[in-house]
Amino acid sequence: EVSLYTPLPSTSGHSHLFPLVSIIMGSDSDLPVMRAAAEVLSALSVPFELTIVSAHRTPDRMVQFAKSARGRGIRVIIAGAGGAAHLPGMVAALTTLPVIGVPVKGSTLDGVDSLHSIVQMPRGIPVATVAINNALNGGLLAARILGTGIPEIGDRVEAYMLQQKCEVERKIDNLMT
């Protein structure tokens, strides 16, 4: 079953490692958005897998994926979906792992429909929701969660933040000169 979730070679630099994060999305049309989560996890050397799981087109696969994720060693799930966007909530209902939802902007309603679907989870089943199309923050949040138990990942998140700070300081210096 693990082979179902083999990382895409083009987006994962860590296919040889056991994935700690699973990035899933409802459709390949979500990939241009969800790629940012994969890229930041790569940059932070966090092993991940990436695949398509559709709540309504492949419901059996979704159940199988969500129920097996923890046993396969996955620690955090990032789930991106557009439209009605029930994927993150359904997955969260089927696992005890933390689930981060990424609302994907569709061609209509500007992704607000997806945001509301994901953020308005009824009590009892939480989904941590990032901003519309902000898969980068989804990846960073997953790294922060892992960083609480894996100091090396926490240190890399800290270095990432320092790098951001230096970039802003460089821009400020450029404005002054």
**Interacting residues with ligand RP5 (CB under 6 A):** 25-27, 29-30, 54, 81-83, 104, 106
- For ligand RP5, which is the closer residue by CB, 104 or 153? 104
C-beta of 106: minimal distance to ligand RP5 in Å?
6
Edge to edge, the sheet with strand 128-129 lists 48-52, 21-25, 76-82, 99-104, 128-129
C-beta of 70: minimal distance to ligand RP5 in Å?
23
C-beta of 44: minimal distance to ligand RP5 in Å?
25
- For ligand RP5, which is the closer residue by CB, 56 or 144? 56
- For ligand RP5, which is the closer residue by CB, 29 or 164? 29
